[in-house]
Structure 1
Amino acid sequence: MCGIAALHHPTSVPTAEGAPMLDAIEHRGPDGRDHRQVGGHAWLGHVRLSIVDLDGGRQPLAGPGGWSLVCNGEIYNHEELRDELGEQDFRTASDSESALVLLARSGPAALDRLRGMWALCAAAPDGRFVAARDRLGIKPLYWAEVGGVRYFASELRAFPTAVQAAVETFPPGCFWTPGTGLVRFADPVPEVLPDWSGLPTEIAEKTTREVLIDSVRRHLMADVEVGVFLSGGLDSSIVAAIAAEERAAVGQRLKTFAVGTADSPDLLAARAAAEHLGTEHREAVFDADRAIAALDAVVESVESFDASLIRSAVPNWFLAELAAQHVKAVLTGEGADELFAGYGYYHRSHAAELPDELARTIGELHGLNLQRCDRVTMAHGLEARVPFLDADVIAHAMSLPDELKQLENGVEKAHLRRAFTGWLPDELLWRRKSQFGTGSGAQDLLTPHWESRVTDADLATTDAPVRTKEELAYHRTFRNALPNVRPEAVLTRFATA
């Protein structure tokens, strides 16, 4: 996990702008920093959080044909790609090098073969340049064009102030080259899915369990220790249960981390799950004073003012701060609700077109939960991984018959719960869902705070794109941190109806 910045111009590039861009995202890469001018048209910069090939994975990486690459993320199938491509063009053991060699050999359309979370920029001395982002946008990438210069960076704060008004989100599943423009190479949900109508329930549950175990196993790939964010909810508890078993198989004990206000539902449930799984468990406890004191830093880090996003980001901020003291990477349960219909509004308002609504929300995760997950962890030099959003898991889950995703006695995700029968105590496996900002206690602290401090007149007279007093307060901080960024260029809303 890292941070990247890049500049491109058809004839010459103002490389002096590169260093300040890296300064702004140095928190993403506390273990190293480097840059490279490539020919006369491109500059690539990188800050590194060392996870794979600790000694040899420094970037920019150099590859065949004079190509250089900077990449933020993890390529989980890099060993398979290395075997297929042959060792002759590899110089390191870095997972990112598989993307570089694949790109140099087969061009940007081949990037759909990468399995993982990544955003990259690559350039060759002859003028070729590629920017690309994984199919879901798990890893961030923004871009802007001003005066013929194209700017790319992992976070909004990296862009020069004069460029911020032109910044847009680089779309997931796309690559850009000077010759082709923007090209889509992959969709969040595959267009062609297996037809599993009539599939016996027990086979569906077995397959769901197997595909998730495989994904968690691959997401544990690292040359450093990997922990788990354990919220006490179903999704993170399943991830922790699989990871704990994988670690026990090699004689290791999994580290888990939980957060909440004292005696909050999530904290108590996570404690019970950790005790059952035998993990090395730690907790971050916060109160109103700590939550409110952290708000400015959280809003500036998340680069959003959506109230739901910020409420969930505050406990995640303390959680990441704690975990970063003990591990360099964590697994999370992000994405399970969008795959297995875990939100109540899916069933209230979209039962008739459930697959379409699930696909829509999966496609928008990059501007919501994934943005929050990336920013609060990387603010503390911590990598977050999302095994539920592996390509194979998505293809499997989205091919399941609709009836397996319906409520069962009013409980969501019954299929997922049954698939892991015996892995967790029933009181945890069938615990009802609460959103993280609620279950951790953050909403009860933050919403009343702003309701009493922002006036009705403030909300009525503002021209900011906000819905509540709480959101107006966050928008003010957002505007102070990023004075020229257009909110409509980066704002995604949580769906609730």
Structure 2
Amino acid sequence: MCGIVAAVGEVDVELCRAMLARIKHRGPDDTGEIHRGEVWLGHQRLSIMDVEGGAQPIANSDRDTYLVANGEIYNHRHIRRDLGHELFETGSDSEAALHALIVDGPVGLARLRGMFALAFMNDDGEFLVARDSLGVKPLYWVRRDEVTLFASELRAFAPADRPLVESFPPGHCWTPSGGLVRFADAVPARVRPARRADVPGEWDEALLKSVREVVVTAVENRMMSDVGIGVFLSGGLDSAIVAAAAASYAERTRQPLPTFAVGAPGSADLEAARVVADFLGTEHHEIVMTPATAAEALPKAVRAIEHYDPSLVRSAVPNLLLAEYAAKRVHAVLTGEGADELFAGYSYFHAEPFTDPDALQAELVRTVTELHHLNLQRCDRTTMAYGMEARVPFLDRDVIELALSIPPEHKMIRPGVPEKQLLREAFAGWLPEDILMRGKEQFGDGSGAKDVLADAVRSMPELAAREGVTLRDRQESVFYAVWHDELAGIRPGATLGMFATT
């Protein structure tokens, strides 16, 4: 929902303000800052919850403790009840994080359920920075002897600092006195799938019900918004399930549900999304992507995602076009990110060596843990480029725990059983049958972006790779040239995988 910048040590206020200005697109509604002693906090606000009263930095009643946050705390109402409503002065979900830290110190981070990157300070000199366990919301830092700097995006940092930029690790908090401490794992340690060698021909109804209910609850928890919310609908299984659950909630609460789809003329994604929208009765919008609009969006997409990997860029271009259009109508959208990693949706999951259940389980855990390097950053950057927040219900902590506790045998393909069959059957009746059985396509392929971009880059300049960088073809060299112009000074691979090409 926002962009944050923080500094502790020898604070250069003008440097910090310049950093904040570089990420104004993340929060076009308001700008706030606070400077106390050796700490500076800055905030660019995208107003979603408590539009009138939720400005940041948010403070306690004594005005001696402050917090800036990017993200959403979905259980903020429960935290209010637990800590006492009398402590709270706004309806902002971020205020729940503030009081959890005031009451419990760093241990209070365990109360928070949601996606967040935050910085906390008080007049006694305490300072803390933290990032959610999956890294859904981005956070980067630079550690110098005299000062430590934090920001939501790489571009925030001055060119002189860019060679020092690192990704702040998910599930960790940092204080000047205690250093870096893990407070949560992406995949809870207690998740241990109950192995079953004999997988039945039909799914147990109790399992299907559990999967359906946990996903629906995650979607409903992410429908909170004071300014409207929509769904990115690709027409694939995952986003269609999210749209179905959101449509059910919107009907019960009597609120509109816009859905947004993008693709080349006649693309499979546009056609499938139209079928889903008609079935659910949503307020559907289509963005038709042409070679001209793709070529125009390409440099913006590379700059937005701060990456040049071809598969990532191919999905980022339609995502950016989608975000540009949708941001004029809603401030937040739901997406289907994470379902393939939890329910074995990618084709390589069903080839050697992952035909072994233990190997498959290990690979699912690995991909979930590493989502913050690529897909989640693409999802965040393309939406926040236009001041819009993306929410990812499949990556709710309860969904992760349930999905990864299911025996991996249940996720394997076999004759008559395609990938993600468990998920398909859990939502039987919620969607048209042809959508439930639609095969997996990469977003860049289903939307037609792959072919459209192949035409668009033919006349664009490319750049030879620097030392330590491998470029696989001319298209990647073109993407790399755009990236290099925007983020010169960043060392590929320096941000824990953010720039690794795979």
State the TM bucket, normalised to the shorter chain: over 0.9
Report if aligned partners of 1:121, 1:131 keep a CA contact under 8 Å in 2: yes
Report if aligned partners of 1:64, 1:104 keep a CA contact under 8 Å in 2: no
Report if aligned partners of 1:22, 1:45 keep a CA contact under 8 Å in 2: yes
Give the 5 Å matches for 1:268-287. Answer: 268-287=271-290
Give the 5 Å matches for 1:434-453. Answer: 434-447=441-454, 449-450=456-457
Residue identity opposite 1:181 in structure 2: G
Shift of 1:90: 1.6
Q: Which structure has the highest helix share of the two?
A: 1
Shift of 1:430: 0.5
Give the 5 Å matches for 1:418-437. Answer: 418-437=425-444
Deviation by residue 1:413-440 (Cα, 9 ceiling, x = unmatched): 0000000001111101010010001100
1:453/1:26 CA distance change after superposition, 3 Å: closer
Shift of 1:253: 3.1
1:258/1:354 CA distance change after superposition, 3 Å: same
Q: 1:115 maps to what in 2?
A: 113
Does residue 332 of structure 2 align to residue 342 of structure 1?
no
Does residue 385 of structure 2 align to residue 388 of structure 1?
no
Mapped to 2, the partners of 1:460 and 1:298 lie a distance apart of: 20
Shift of 1:194: 6.0
Mapped to 2, the partners of 1:225 and 1:78 lie a distance apart of: 19
Give the 5 Å matches for 1:239-254. Answer: 239-254=242-257
1:406/1:68 CA distance change after superposition, 3 Å: same
Q: 2:101 maps to what in 1?
A: 103
Candidates 37, 43, 46, aligned match of 1:46? 43
Mapped to 1, the partners of 2:458 and 2:355 lie a distance apart of: 34
Does residue 314 of structure 2 align to residue 311 of structure 1?
yes
Shift of 1:447: 3.5
Mapped to 2, the partners of 1:309 and 1:56 lie a distance apart of: 37
Report if aligned partners of 1:264, 1:440 keep a CA contact under 8 Å in 2: yes
Candidates 288, 293, 301, aligned match of 1:290? 293
Mapped to 1, the partners of 2:137 and 2:172 lie a distance apart of: 13
After alignment, is 386-395 or 289-298 more displaced? 289-298
Report if aligned partners of 2:71, 2:115 keep a CA contact under 8 Å in 1: yes
Q: 2:127 maps to what in 1?
A: 129
1:93/1:449 CA distance change after superposition, 3 Å: closer
Mapped to 2, the partners of 1:479 and 1:136 lie a distance apart of: 28
Q: 2:355 maps to what in 1?
A: 351
Deviation by residue 1:148-190 (Cα, 9 ceiling, x = unmatched): 2111000011111111110100000000001111111111111
1:149/1:211 CA distance change after superposition, 3 Å: same
Report if aligned partners of 1:135, 1:188 keep a CA contact under 8 Å in 2: yes
Q: 1:7 maps to what in 2?
A: 7
Shift of 1:271: 0.5
Mapped to 2, the partners of 1:495 and 1:344 lie a distance apart of: 20
Residue identity opposite 1:206 in structure 2: K
CA RMSD of aligned residues (A): 1.9
Give 3-state SS (helix, strand or coil) of 2:260's partner.
strand
Give 3-state SS (helix, strand or coil) of 1:171's partner.
coil
1:196/1:477 CA distance change after superposition, 3 Å: same
Residue identity opposite 1:6 in structure 2: A
Candidates 319, 323, 346, aligned match of 1:320? 323
Mapped to 2, the partners of 1:36 and 1:435 lie a distance apart of: 44
Give the 5 Å matches for 1:88-487. Answer: 88-193=86-191, 196-197=194-195, 201-349=204-352, 350-352=354-356, 353-408=359-414, 409=416, 411-447=418-454, 449-450=456-457, 464-487=469-492
Give 3-state SS (helix, strand or coil) of 2:370's partner.
helix
Report if aligned partners of 1:232, 1:269 keep a CA contact under 8 Å in 2: yes
Deviation by residue 1:240-262 (Cα, 9 ceiling, x = unmatched): 01111111112233110000000
Shift of 1:87: 2.1
Residue identity opposite 1:164 in structure 2: R
Give 3-state SS (helix, strand or coil) of 2:470's partner.
coil
* Structure 1 unaligned spans of 5+: none
Mapped to 1, the partners of 2:336 and 2:485 lie a distance apart of: 32
Candidates 68, 73, 76, aligned match of 1:70? 68
Deviation by residue 1:84-105 (Cα, 9 ceiling, x = unmatched): 0112322211100111111111
Deviation by residue 1:452-495 (Cα, 9 ceiling, x = unmatched): 8678xx76897633222212211111111111111211344799
1:72/1:453 CA distance change after superposition, 3 Å: closer
After alignment, is 325-334 or 406-415 more displaced? 406-415
Mapped to 1, the partners of 2:432 and 2:500 lie a distance apart of: 31
Shift of 1:339: 0.4
Mapped to 1, the partners of 2:500 and 2:186 lie a distance apart of: 18
Q: 2:27 maps to what in 1?
A: 29
Report if aligned partners of 2:193, 2:408 keep a CA contact under 8 Å in 1: no
Percent of counterpart pairs with the same letter? 51
Shift of 1:367: 1.4
After alignment, is 12-21 or 72-81 more displaced? 12-21
Mapped to 1, the partners of 2:305 and 2:334 lie a distance apart of: 19
1:401/1:351 CA distance change after superposition, 3 Å: same
Give 3-state SS (helix, strand or coil) of 1:305's partner.
coil
1:163/1:426 CA distance change after superposition, 3 Å: same
Report if aligned partners of 1:459, 1:468 keep a CA contact under 8 Å in 2: no
Report if aligned partners of 1:3, 1:28 keep a CA contact under 8 Å in 2: yes
* Structure 2 unaligned spans of 5+: none
Give 3-state SS (helix, strand or coil) of 1:161's partner.
coil
Mapped to 1, the partners of 2:81 and 2:174 lie a distance apart of: 27
Shift of 1:451: 6.5
